[in-house]
Each structure stands twice: as C-alpha cells, then as structure tokens.
Amino acid sequence: MALRTRITELLGIEHPIVQGGMQGVGTAELAGAVSNAGGLGILTALTQPSPAALRAEIERCRAMTDKPFGVNITVFPTINPPDYQGYAQAVIDGGVRIVETAGTPAVREIWDMLKPHGVTILHKCTAVRHALSAERAGCDIISIDGFECAGHPGEDDIPGLILIPAAADKVKIPLLASGGFGDGRGLAAALALGADGINMGTRFCATQEAPIHPNIKQAYLDNDERGSVLIFRKLRNTARVGRSAVSEEVARRLDQPGATFDDVKDLVSGAAGREMLRTGNLDQGIFWAGMVQGLIHDVPTCAELVGRIVAEAEALIRGRLAGLVSA
C-alpha cells in the first residue's frame, strides 16, 4: 500500500511528508536526508548569510540527494530587509523547482520572480481567509498551520482539528496540514481531515541529521505537550517557542505594563539563537518548538522517522480504521 496524494504527484516525492523551512536548521544535511527518505526536504534561505551562500548550499544539497528538494523564503516585516530578490535569484540560478514561502504579502513579489521559471509555490498560512487569498494570487500548494505549530501561529488561535477541514472545504489546490504532526496517527488524521499530506518542523528537529546541539534535541524529549510558551502576544506577532528559563523570562518581561520589543531583544536575537543551537546552552536564547513535543520520544534518523510514520499511517488506514466499518 502506498499513500499517493496530490502532494506526492505534484512534488514528485514518494511520501506525503514535507520538512518545513526552519531558521538555523534547514541546511543541506537535514533537507538532503528528508528527501532521501522519500519526503520533501527544504533549505532555509535566510539561514544563509547571502544569496551567494544560498547558491553554494543548494549545490551542497544537490550533492547529497538526487531527489526533489525545496527552498524556504520567508519575508519578515523589518526596517532593514535582507536581499529577498537576491535569494530568489539564487533559487532560479540553482535550478530549484519548489519554494516554500511565508510572511507578509510582499512575498508575492518573490512569486512573480519565480513563477515564470516553473517554480512550484508552497505557501504557509494560519487562516482560511489567507489561504484563499494566496490561492487566488496563484500559489500552487497551501500549508495550513494550526495553533499547535511552532513559530508564528497567527492571532486567531484556531487548532488544526478545526482549521484543516475548514480550509479543505474551501481551498481547491493541494493542501498540507501543519502544526502538531509527528507520527503516523497524525498523518492518517490529516488525510481524513481533507489534507493531502503533512508539513513537520519540530519533529524533524529531533532527528540525527538536524544540525543542532544534542542538548536542544534532549529538550524536545524532556518537554511534553505543555512544553511551549507563547511570546509576543501583546505585540500582535505571536510566536510559539520551547519552554525554558529564557522563554519564560521573555514572557514575564512582555507581560509588564508598557513593555515593548526592546525589553526582550537581548534574549530573542537571531544571533543568540544561532549560538544556542551550536553550543547547546539553553540560557543563550530561545528555540522554536510546537505542542508536538508531547509526541517526541526519540531521536531517529530521518529515514527511520519517515518510514515509521508512513508505516503507522498505512497500518491505521488498512487495519484499525477499516475494521471499524461493518458490512
């Protein structure tokens, strides 16, 4: 039995499992391993310091896998934006044909660069209305992120059990379910809810090939489903990160009357986070983590993880679920 969906057909992959782009984590080692396992690995453009570095990383990934892989380009609201067009041109020059995007509506300028080159656009959304807008604007795949997800879950607080079927009812293009997925039960559930596959971030952080310190991977094992903290709520830029002394201090400071981003920028800087991933010192910064930590109990290879998820989902669909239907 094989799980063939619109996602596997459109992306040319074996299994309907996508590794989402993650800052500091989406490197060639992880993306190549996920793609070799039959899923879709994704490099994170802004993990690289320049478009030239992204070109080199694309070549490194291509040397590690002959399977499809993609690149994530996330457009953040910022005073001094990175060279987004330069990163997009690096994708084009590198011959990458799948790009995951997220962020502000300005990301559509990147789509305009990529689409004439036959690039498939996979766009991450946290609301049905945003998904429909992206569909109208010409993206090819929607990744719908429920409130359980790591990173930025939006401001509506709609969990996947509602958000996924609500999106599936209205979105006509292929749909990925994201947020809270880490095993075969989740994949089977996502397919039952109307999605064509799953997008996983946190679960792929706890794999052998993820380029982060073992201490951070152990934190994913130690935390349970309560092991995340929502920060930046008052700033209308909600983010879900792993529970630690640092993230709890960030939440405490921002809960004070009149608090601003300046009150926590020393704790949440990107440089501090990258150093923490390298050294494993949890007192140095914050790390992205979703509620799915409650389902993470080991640190397998990507091949072991993807194979296990697909086998579990197939067994559920063919076995227990089919057995519940009487003649």
pLDDT of residue 196: 98
Tokens linked to 279: 């050294």
pLDDT of residue 1: 58
CA distance 183 to 181: 6
pLDDT of residue 206: 97
Beta partners for residue 102, in sequence order: 74
Classify each residue of 254-285 as buried b or exposed e, where b means 16 or more C-beta atoms within 10 Å of its C-beta: beeeeeeeeebeebbeeebbbebbeeeebebb
Asked whether 147 and 110 are in contact (CB, 8 A), the reply is no
For the purposes of burial, counting CB atoms within 10 Å of the CB of 22, is it exposed (0-12), middle (13-18) or buried (19 or more)? buried
**SS3 readout for 152-175:** CCCCCCCCHHHHHHHHHHHCCCCE
CA distance 29 to 268: 25
CA dihedral 100, 235, 220, 156 (to 10 degrees): -70
Per-residue DSSP letter, 320: I
Residue 258's region, left for phi above 0, alpha for psi from -120 to 50, else beta, is left
Asked whether 41 and 31 are in contact (CB, 8 A), the reply is yes
pLDDT > 90: percent of the chain: 89
pLDDT tens digits, 304-321: 999 999 999 999 999 988
- The CATH number of the domain covering residues in 6-211+299-323: 3.20.20.70
pLDDT of residue 327: 65
pLDDT of residue 45: 97
CA distance 42 to 101: 11
Asked whether 81 and 48 are in contact (CB, 8 A), the reply is no
For the purposes of burial, counting CB atoms within 10 Å of the CB of 71, is it exposed (0-12), middle (13-18) or buried (19 or more)? buried
* pTM to 2 decimal places: 0.95
Q: What does pLDDT average to in each consecutive run of 10 residues of the chain (327 residues)?
A: 92 98 95 98 97 98 98 88 96 98 93 97 97 97 97 94 98 98 98 98 98 96 96 91 94 92 90 89 93 97 98 94 81
**Which segments within the chain are labelled E, that is strand?**
17-19, 41-44, 69-75, 98-103, 120-125, 141-145, 175-178, 197-200, 228-231, 239-242
Q: Where do the domains of the chain lie? A: 6-211+299-323, 214-291
Tokens linked to 162: 């509602």
**SS3 readout for 23-86:** CCCCCHHHHHHHHHCCCEEEEEHHHCCCHHHHHHHHHHHHHHCCCCEEEEEEECCCCCCCCHHH
pLDDT of residue 274: 86
Beta strands at 228-231 and 197-200: parallel, antiparallel or unpaired: unpaired
Asked whether 30 and 210 are in contact (CB, 8 A), the reply is yes
Give me the residue label for tokens 């749909």.
175
The count of other CB atoms within 10 Å of the CB of residue 97 is 18
